[in-house]
């Protein structure tokens, strides 16, 4: 990750209305797909700088309510934020300078799918982005709902992908996910929301690891941003009930590209054993697990996550930017 940082940045919208950002001028693109909050900003403090410094061209995009994708609307807004490393340690607290995007990976979004806001719709939006930018087959990196979408895309449009990193993913629902779905449904039908301070606390313990929670300074900063998201309504997506994800593991035997699944040891929304199941179901896939990391492990332990990401990308055969995109 040495060398000058490539900071070239352009923005635009696809014909379907999806806002995207391209950073870096390297010849090899990498597409990062956020979770349920739907904002590409979640990658910008840690992953985008690491990738552009390594010579990649990085594409992020929004799929929240203001991003009108092909044939659907995204889930309700719930922003996300990146966090700085804490005094030389990998456990990170959230960044509060220009990154008001906390709480997006919340309340079980990873565990559920729906026609308008689920993995299939996000996969379709991603395909539209790849086509609109005329990208060659390239690596996709998905987190949570973004990872579920990449899995669906690999079953329908694998010719557009040279490899995939799936973080905080699963191939089926489980007892806890179904219980959370029932609780969200009950809360939605009741027509009430908890006080922002309570909502922020729930977000905190659902998304972060015990190591981060034990750091009082980091925990206080995360609480502030989760509460801000609740106060501004940005975390309202967590209150929308969605049907359970189907059992997809048997289908994953048809995925033909290299895959790395990354699990976070303390993730309660996408438990690491379920990610290991996904890796076992995909031919040739590898599995790695980060300790001391919750559902937002790529922000809690950014150096470790970025190391896994860059090492994986280095194993992929480079794609000629002029290669045909036809299957």
Q: Are 154 and 130 in contact (CB under 8 A)?
A: no
Q: Which of 144, 162, 173, 235 is catalytic?
A: 144
Tell me, yes or no, whether 236 lies in a domain. Answer: yes
The domain that contains 106 carries what CATH number? 3.40.50.1820
Residue 2, domain member (yes or no) = no
| Tokens 């900003």 belong to residue | 41
**What are 53-91's pLDDT values in tens digits?**
999 999 999 986 555 544 433 332 333 333 323 323 333
User: DSSP readout, 247-262?
Assistant: --GGGGGG--S-EEEE
Q: Is 144 among the catalytic positions?
A: yes
**Which pLDDT tens digit goes with each residue over 101-128?**
434 444 333 333 344 568 999 999 999 9
- Give, in degrees to the nearest 5, the angle at Cα 92 between 86 and 93: 90
Q: Is residue 320 part of a domain?
A: no
Predicted TM-score (pTM) of the model is: 0.83
Q: What is the DSSP letter of 208?
A: S
Task: Give domain status of residue 18, yes or no.
Answer: yes
Q: Is 9 helix (H, G, I), strand (E, B) or coil?
A: strand
Q: Is residue 71 part of a domain?
A: yes
Cα dihedral 36/67/13/8 (nearest 10):
-40
The DSSP secondary-structure symbol of 3 reads: S
Q: What digits encode the pLDDT tens for the residues 181-233?
A: 888 788 878 887 888 899 899 999 999 999 999 999 999 999 998 888 888 76
Quick one: pLDDT band at residue 36, thresholds 50, 70, 90?
confident
Classify residue 187 as exposed, middle or buried by CB count within 10 Å of its CB (0-12, 13-18, 19+): middle
Nearest to 107 by CA among 267, 298, 275, 269: 269
The better pLDDT of the pair 85, 313 is held by 313
Quote the number of domains for the chain: 1
Catalytic residue among 46, 63, 143, 295: 295
Q: Which of 62, 157, 215, 267 is catalytic?
A: 267
| pLDDT tens digits, 158-180 | 999 999 999 999 999 999 888 88
Does residue 323 lie in a domain region? no
Better pLDDT: 22 or 317: 22
pLDDT of residue 228: 87
Residue 302, phi then psi, degrees to nearest 5? -65, -40
> What is the predicted pLDDT for the residue at 107?
34
- Please indicate, yes or no, if residue 324 is contained in any of the structural domains: no
> What residues make up the domain containing 273?
9-315
- Interval 233-289: pLDDT, tens: 665 544 444 456 789 999 999 999 999 999 999 999 999 999 999 999 999 999 999
Cα 237 to Cα 273: distance, rounded to the nearest angstrom = 26
Tell me whether residue 295 is one of the annotated catalytic residues. Answer: yes
Query: Quick check: is 201 in a domain?
Result: yes
């Amino acid at each position: 990750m040495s060398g000058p940082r490539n900071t070239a940045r352009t923005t635009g919208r696809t014909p379907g209305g999806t806002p995207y950002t391209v950073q870096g001028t390297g010849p090899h693109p990498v597409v990062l797909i956020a979770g349920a909050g739907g904002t590409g900003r979640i990658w910008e403090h840690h992953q985008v700088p690491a990738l552009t410094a390594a010579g990649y061209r990085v594409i992020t995009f929004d799929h929240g309510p203001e991003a009108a994708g092909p044939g659907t609307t995204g889930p309700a807004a719930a922003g996300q934020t990146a966090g700085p490393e804490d005094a030389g340690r990998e456990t990170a607290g959230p960044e509060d300078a220009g990154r008001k995007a906390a709480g997006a990976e919340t309340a079980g979004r990873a565990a559920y799918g729906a026609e308008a806001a689920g993995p299939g719709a996000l996969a379709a939006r991603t395909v539209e982005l790849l086509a609109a930018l005329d990208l060659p087959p390239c690596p996709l990196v998905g987190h949570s709902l973004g990872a579920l979408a990449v899995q669906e895309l690999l079953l329908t449009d694998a010719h557009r992908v040279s490899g995939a990193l799936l973080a905080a993913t699963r191939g089926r629902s489980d007892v806890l996910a179904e219980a959370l779905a029932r609780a969200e449904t009950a809360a939605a039908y009741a027509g009430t929301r908890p006080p922002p301070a309570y909502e922020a606390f729930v977000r905190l313990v659902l998304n972060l690891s015990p190591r981060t929670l034990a750091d009082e300074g980091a925990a206080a900063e995360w609480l502030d941003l989760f509460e801000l998201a609740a106060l501004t309504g940005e975390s309202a997506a967590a209150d929308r009930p969605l049907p359970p994800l189907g059992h997809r593991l048997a289908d994953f035997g048809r995925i033909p590209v290299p895959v790395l699944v990354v699990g976070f040891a303390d993730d309660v929304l996408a438990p690491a054993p379920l990610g290991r199941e996904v890796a076992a179901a995909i031919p040739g896939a590898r599995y790695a697990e980060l300790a001391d990391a919750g559902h937002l492990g790529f922000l809690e332990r950014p150096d470790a996550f970025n190391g896994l990401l860059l090492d994986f990308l280095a194993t992929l055969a480079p794609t000629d930017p002029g290669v045909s995109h036809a299957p």
